[in-house]
Copies of this chain bind each other. A is one copy, B any other.
Amino acid sequence: MTHLDILSKLATKTDSKIVLLVMDGVGGIHTAERPETELELARIPNLNRLAKEGCCGRSMPVSYAITPGSGPGHLSLFGYDPLEPAYDIGRGVLEALGIDFKLEKSDIAARGNFCDVNAEGIITNRRAGRLPTDECIKLCKELQDSLPEMDGVKVFIMPVKEYRFALVLRGAGLSPAIADTDPQKEGFTPKDIEATEDTPAARRTVAILKKIAALYYKILKPRKTANSILLRGFSSHPGMPTFQELYKLTPAAIATYPLYRGVATLAGMDILKTGTEIADEFKTLEENWAKYDFFFMHIKKTDSYGEDGNSAGRIKVIEETDGQIPRLLALKPDVIAVAGDHSTPPPMKAHSWHPVPFLLRGKFCDADDVEAFTEGACNHGRLGMFPARAIMEMLLACAGKLQKYGA
């Protein structure tokens, strides 16, 4: 039995309510130049109170020293093993989710680049000189209008940012087993569209994609820049079991960025409309409190400022989040967890592998002697360093939603 098989067998519906507050990339590191992390520098009386009342540790998103992308990082928080091929979210799907596209189970999605090719068709710039986003929007509209459908299959081409777009095919009998046309290097021509397996669905998808690409190439050819396209990461909805099926939860997600709403959708969560500020997210929580028994709340900017190396910005976001905690406590959730999907240490200006501070607070959580929500304090917590995919299990148990295993 897999980990999730056991949980789905033991989970029961109860009235208790869980809030999983994810501060994206919240983990930091200690370096000689910056001996204190933002969590250590910030004034966070409310988070510290939760740490004191709860039990703490540090969660590993994927493995001891694997740096996760946002997809695997969140899968793990939601209990899915990100190394399981069944839960592998393809690049195309992520791109579509990242623009709030409502992906259906049978859709095929690809990530696209507008690129530059020379007269011989050889790629001279894979990103069309970082095409401005406005131009990308205009081009996608032109291509979309030129071809809304092909052989009974709906075609969606949608701008993402700069040179990036998402392409989605919607129809029956399609397959994501399509190779990248992007050679990942300049000096080559885009590859032909080819299937990676020999099935009727893959052959049909190749035939349709060839017609679409031929038309796009023709329309773009006269242009000086962004005069061709590259496609990669063909993929479809991973169709993983939902929170309802696995955990008997009625889950909702509150997130200001589309990618996280997208991953939450895959897990079966209702997406709640919210504003752009942290306070808006807590307002949304209050307004929807009665309707759900599980809330995933996502704070984005801890990660964004980490990627920028901006410690001051990160401290501000952490303090701002801390300031909202009393609103959360006022709702009297049975279980609160504060977690991160990975670390984004400002000295590294990137996601990293370092385990993430974690706290769990609930009636029977077994409070340890950690009194602060910081990396250093959480190192000494009762939970030690543990796989992030155990978090859902802890939340359910602490909320009284898991039955005994065996007699």
Hey, which bits of chain A sit against chain B, CB under 8 A?
Answer: 1, 3, 6, 10, 29-32, 53, 58, 62-72, 82-83, 85, 88-89, 91, 94, 345, 347-348, 350-355, 363-364, 366-369, 375-376, 379-386, 390, 393-394, 396-398, 402-407
Provide the residues of chain B in CB contact with A381, threshold 8 Å: 379
Provide the residues of chain B in CB contact with A354, threshold 8 Å: 366
A251 and B108 alpha carbons, distance in the complex (Å): 43
Judging by beta carbons under 8 Å apart, are B407 and A70 in contact? yes
Query: A368 is contacted by which of B66, B376, B394 (Cβ under 8 Å)?
Result: B376
Judging by beta carbons under 8 Å apart, are B367 and A406 in contact? no
Known: A30-B368, A348-B364. 13 other contacts (CB 8 A): A6-B66, A58-B382, A62-B405, A66-B402, A67-B402, A67-B405, A68-B406, A89-B406, A352-B364, A354-B366, A379-B381, A382-B385, A384-B385
Say how many copies of this protein the assembly contains: 2
Judging by beta carbons under 8 Å apart, are A390 and B63 in contact? yes
A367 and B64 alpha carbons, distance in the complex (Å): 15
Q: Which of A62, A381, A405 has the most CB of B within 10 A?
A: A405
Q: Which of A6, A29, A407 has the most CB of B within 10 A?
A: A407
Residue of B nearest to A376 (CB): B369
Judging by beta carbons under 8 Å apart, are B6 and A405 in contact? no
Provide the residues of chain B in CB contact with A385, threshold 8 Å: 382-384, 386
What's the least CB distance linking A64 to chain B, in Å? 4
Query: A65 is contacted by which of B70, B91, B390 (Cβ under 8 Å)?
Result: B390
Query: A3 is contacted by which of B63, B72, B352 (Cβ under 8 Å)?
Result: B63
A71 and B32 alpha carbons, distance in the complex (Å): 37
Please, could you name 29 A-B residue pairs with CB atoms under 8 Å apart, sorted by A? A1-B83, A1-B85, A6-B83, A10-B66, A30-B366, A31-B364, A32-B53, A63-B390, A64-B383, A64-B386, A64-B393, A65-B390, A66-B393, A66-B402, A67-B402, A67-B404, A67-B405, A69-B407, A70-B406, A72-B406, A82-B406, A88-B406, A345-B366, A348-B364, A354-B366, A368-B376, A379-B381, A379-B382, A384-B384
| Top-7 shortest CB links A-B | A65-B397, A69-B406, A64-B390, A29-B366, A72-B406, A65-B393, A69-B407
